[in-house]
Structure 1
Amino acid sequence: MLPPAKLAVYGFQHVLAFYAGAVIVPILLAGAIGLNERELIHLINADLFTCGIASIIQSVGFWKVGVRLPLLQGVTFTAVSPMIAIGMAAGGGTDGLLVIYGSVIVAGLFTFLIAPVFGKLIRFFPPVVTGSVITIIGLALLPVAAADAVGGADNPHPEDWHNLAFALGTLALIVVIQRVFRGFMATVAVLIGLVAGTLVAWATGFATFSAVGESAWFGVTTPFFFGIPKFGLAAIVSMIVVMLITAVETTGDVFATGEIVDKRVGKSDIARALRADGLATTIGGIFNSFPYTCFAENVGLVRLTRVKSRYVVATAGAIMIVIGLLPKAGAIVAGIPHPVLGGAALAMFATVAVVGFQTLSRVDFHDHRNVVIVASSVGLAMFVTAQPDVAKALPEWAQVVFGSGITLGSITAIVLNIVFHHIGRGRGPAVAGSPGEGTVRLEQVNGMSREEFVATFGRLFQGETAVVGHAYDRRPFADTDALRTAFQEALFAAPRDEQRALMAEYPDLGGLDIGEASERDQSAAGLTRLADEDQQEFEALAATYRERFGIPLIVCVRDAHNRDHILRDGALRLTNSPAQEHAAALIEIAKVANHRFADLVADANPIHTARTSWTKSAR
């Protein structure tokens, strides 16, 4: 809980970042189903009022409702097309609106009731899915920011340099503040950028606040303002599908926020978040608003500002309730020019994508199945985002999915993860061998006998195989990283006499007849082709080291810069205590084993290795 002044400032920053996205849904819906201006104003007020209630429920929480993270709630974009279709099918106008509200209320109750079941499905959301979904959310929202940056989706003017100047100027100011300032100033960079950009636009005549004078001071939204809701089966089914899709988006946002605030998200957290979505959606249907979900732009704002207090979002909710009751206040916020808002949104939406990249960094991409999942889901999401009219080529029921890149990409990631990792007999990533001679996959490793395991991975260490046997006892291995970690832990947990026996097996640096594995290691620094004078220096160092510590001088040559560096470092190590050199030798053995393990994986995955090598060389 921050001091009241900071809560107010940070909360207002969230409101500014959220506002345009919040009001766009009622604006689009009203225009499509033929509502008049008075009805539109009431929809906007009702939307803001209910957004505030929903945000407080989600961030503060009560009982088993609300995830208690800094997540701000807003009307989901996924519902726009289905609601327009429902409203038009019912004749448009307020008649269509009543059928929409009936479906919204039922879908909200449905979401509330299935939340615990959906929470139990968390095992179907590993990092490969959540990382893909979070990345897709960030990337798919960037065109929305770009549309604002050129004047707004309803009136774009990309050729107007003023729009470009306001958008890039706002973005540049945010970046400069983040670079120059620390503490409070850095955390309100987005707010300063929005306020400064708006003031400049107003001073130069590119922003107007004429709507403020025309708006009323006070306006209350009452339950069922437009009449008693009507319930249609087709409309209810369509809205339930929307809420199921929204549940996936909410799950992605919860995981993204969990990453930002360092909170481990569990199935109970997902259930709490979805209950809040369901309750807020039901309240929305009663108070003349629409389905609710977590707003990704505000997830990006939390990441950008590093202000992680959930009470900031609760304060933003309180501010929205006030704005929803004061149409004049809403008109002031609505005066922010599109290009200014677009410049700030570019930073916030891209930051959401970065959170996705961080999540994907934990994915084992040596497993080609994960490559397919990420590539397919992101590719389809960007396809629909770049070509939104492609949904018109499909039946109306399919347009709910293909009408949104976020929806299509999220569903693709979930379905492919189930197909590749949960249906049938998965073989796991290749961890040894080669495509020509036969690869050893992770599932096979988990089913090996001790003798087979030692024969396959014994080359990671020199001669002595006791450590490899200890690693075998740590089965089963969930992925490639878990297998590599098992060797490291087995090495450091082995009894001292086994560690000393293992150290004695390692050859001298620059020695002769050192074996294929060591030759591959030492050739990295040219130790297999030393001149006579250099050979003598290494032999002298090795003999002195053995005499002092009773073990060979072990160095991970692949991490060393050159021969001179190895000699200089070896001479310095002669001054260490025996205990310190014992620990140093273990660390060097672990480094050597890591490189040898990477060789095994690389040999088994030549395509992945070639792609990675090409990327590094291109950089």
Structure 2
Amino acid sequence: MNAPQTDRVHPVDAWLPPGKNLVLALQHLLVMYAAAVSIPIVVGNAIGLSHDQLVMLINADLFACGIATLIQSVGFWKFGIRLPLIQGCSFVAVTPMILIGKEHGMPAVYGATIAAGIFCMLVAPFFGRVRRFFPPVVMGTTILLIGLSLLPVAVRWSAGGSPKSPDFGSPVNLMLAGVSLVTVLLVFGLGRGLLRNAAVLVGLLTGTVLAIAIGKADFSSLGNEPWLAVIRPLAFGMPVFDPISIVLMCVAMLVILTEVTADFFAVGEMVDKEIDDKAIARGLRADGLSTVIGGLLNTFPYCAYNANVGLVAMSGVRSRWVVATTGVLLLGLGLFPKLAALFASMPLAVLGGAGLVMFSMIATTGLRILAKVDLANGNNTIIIAASLGIGLITVAVPGFYEQVDGTLRIFLHSGITTGCLTAIVLNALFNRKSRNSADQAALVI
């Protein structure tokens, strides 16, 4: 057993050598880029924005991602959990943003986003008291569910992205994904030091070089993008605060808060850092502030990116300053569109191959926690089984809740949220009689 580290800096707070820090920051950037730009594209196209407006959304989003990541990882006063967490737009908010945008226009989207961010900051101290509802049986199940829910994303990326794409599942895409995957595994298994930590980056670069060699990497957009972009706050006009739109976005924000809390516990487990009520409140408060900033900069609600949570587990690098460096790089990408276009040229199939391992690493973190749970206790096994079953419904059948009312559908469509809440409720019901015993935490002593 390691001696207490009271006289030295915790790995989360440690600075790495500049070169190593930059390499690992680039790795985080490549992993999150595709998801970061996809939400502005989806929302902008659904609402019917022009090409110029869409480009503005993407640039503003990357810039705001950088701000949000710095707030969360570096922190100040009572904002920021100070863990290696990359921040980006939440997919949970996509549906309400499209609904609001089509009905009331973009000013109403940003009015609702700003209001939801303020709401998040107000409820953060109360939401931060949920730690007692996350004993190992709940925490392990939720983290396992996060990893399993992400696997279909990696599979789609490996096949080429959208099933509507003409080359979806083509042998070339599968080959690129396979090369990326095998490279990551070989470098991780045989490499040492920085090379092992950067296994995902090596896999992504290898796959991209191969894609360039066979003509699958498209750099045509580089010539069309300007060198410098100006991020204009409130580019769509003053925000409109429509009450119904605000309620809808606040509902989405509650779902985001639940998922983010699970991410906090997951990263805390990975980096060996205790997550207390105050830390949760600081993290949620940072998400709220970032969401307000997002609304002012013409972007969307922000939260932790699960893909980068998986990268923390895979790389074993715990320093939050690596992620803070990624935040600075994101600021640069937002201001220099040509650089953003360069990173966008990496084929999704390459990212998918690496994603298969990264997302599975999140699942194994959940399994490691569940290994501490007393599975001979039938209550715990039924909690895990029911929570996974309910949480994976939308993973298996994405349109399962399509006929449900829109507001309720936002809750139900998030399998992580439904699975997590199921685990919390069942644990409260089944293990309530043993709360003052070792069985309360369901740990094997």
TM bracket, shorter-chain basis: over 0.9
Say if 2:176 and 2:353, in contact at 8 Å, map to a contact too: yes
CA contact (8 A) 1:23 1:47 kept: yes
Contact 2:84 2:318 in 1 (8 A): yes
Q: Aligned residue for 2:30?
A: 16
What's the TM-score once normalised by structure 2's chain length? 0.93
Q: 2:303 aligns with which of 293, 298, 309?
A: 293
- For 1:271, the equivalent position in structure 2 comes to 281
In structure 2, distance between residues paired with 1:110 and 1:427: 35
Say whether the 8 Å CA contact 2:333–2:340 is kept in structure 1: yes
Residue 27 of structure 1 deviates from its aligned partner by 1.0
Tell which structure's C-alpha radius of gyration is larger.
1
Tell whether 2:48 aligns with 1:34.
yes
1:483 Cα offset (Å) = 10
CA spacing shift, 1:363–1:198, aligned 2, 3 Å: same
Corresponding letter in the other structure for 1:102 = G
Aligned with 1:76 (options 90, 93, 104): 90
- How far apart, CA to CA, are the structure 2 residues paired with 1:383 and 1:5? 44
Which of 54, 60, 65 pairs up with 2:74?
Answer: 60
Paired residues for 1:441-480 under 5 Å: 477-479=437-439
Question: Identity over the aligned pairs, expressed in percent?
Answer: 47
Helix, strand or coil for the counterpart of 2:402?
A: helix
- Equivalent in the alignment of 2:10: none
Q: 1:412: Cα distance to partner?
A: 2.3
1:319 to 322, 326, 329: 329
TM-score of the pair, normalised by structure 1: 0.67
Secondary structure of the corresponding residue to residue 289 of structure 1: coil
Rounded to whole Å, the distance in 2 between the matches of 1:418 and 1:240 is 26
Cα deviation code 1:400-423 (max 9, x no counterpart): 0222222322232233333434xx
2:155 aligns with 146
Matched residue type, 2:34: A
Is the 8 Å Cα contact of residues 47 and 289 (structure 1) preserved in structure 2?
A: yes
Shift of 1:207: 1.1
Residue aligning to 2:193: 183
1:18-48 Cα shifts (integer Å, max 9, x gaps): 0011111111111111111111111111110
SS in structure 2 of the partner of residue 110 of structure 1: helix
Cα distance, 1:480–1:167 mapped onto 2, change above 3 Å: same
| Structure 2 CA distance for aligned equivalents of residues 481 and 207 of structure 1 | 50
Cα distance, 1:199 vs structure 2: 1.2
Q: Deviation at 1:427?
A: 4.1
Structure-1 separation of matches of 2:45 and 2:444: 58
Cα deviations across residues 50-93 of structure 1 (Å, max 9, x unaligned)? 00000011011111110111111111111111211222222xxx
Specify whether residues 159 and 416 from structure 1 end up closer, same or farther in structure 2 by C-alpha distance, changes over 3 A only. same
Correspondence for 2:133: 124
Correspondence 1:336-347 to 2 at 5 A: 336-347=346-357
Query: Residues 216-235 of structure 1 correspond to what in structure 2 (within 5 A)?
Result: 216-235=226-245
Where 1:393 maps in the other structure, the secondary structure is: coil
1:233 aligned partner, one-letter code: P
Aligned partners of 1:297 and 1:258: how far apart in 2? Answer: 16
1:158 Cα shift?
A: 4.6
Residue 3 (structure 1) aligned with residue 17 (structure 2): yes
In structure 2, what is the Cα distance between the partners aligned to 1:481 and 1:100?
A: 42
Match of 2:39 in 1: 25
Higher relative contact order (CA 8 A, sep 6+): 2
2:329 is the alignment partner of 1:369: no
Say which SS state the counterpart of residue 389 (structure 1) adopts.
coil
**What are the within-5 Å matches in structure 2 for residues 271-420 of structure 1?**
271-420=281-430
Do the aligned partners of 1:380 and 1:409 also contact (CA within 8 Å) in 2? yes
Counterpart amino acid of residue 345 in structure 1: G
Deviation at 1:480, TM superposition (A): 8.5
Asked if the contact 2:100/2:245 (under 8 Å) is kept, the reply is yes
User: For each residue in 1:279-314, what CA deviation from the matched residue of structure 2 results, as whole angstroms up to 9, or x when unmatched?
Assistant: 111110011111111111111111111111100000
> Are 2:251 and 2:407, in contact at CA under 8 Å, matched by a contact in 1?
no
- Please give the root-mean-square deviation of Cα atoms over the aligned residues, in Å: 1.7
Residue 58 (structure 2) aligns with: 44
* Residues 150 and 156 in structure 1, CA contact (< 8 A), matched pair in contact too: no
Q: How far, CA to CA, are the matches of 1:420 and 1:368 in structure 2?
A: 10
Uncovered stretches (5+) of structure 1, i.e. residues with no partner: 91-95, 429-442, 444-475, 486-619
**Structure 2 Cα separation of the partners of residues 147 and 222 of structure 1:** 34
Matching residue of 1:212: 222
Long gaps (5+) in structure 2: 1-14
Quote how far apart the aligned CAs of 1:347 are: 1.1
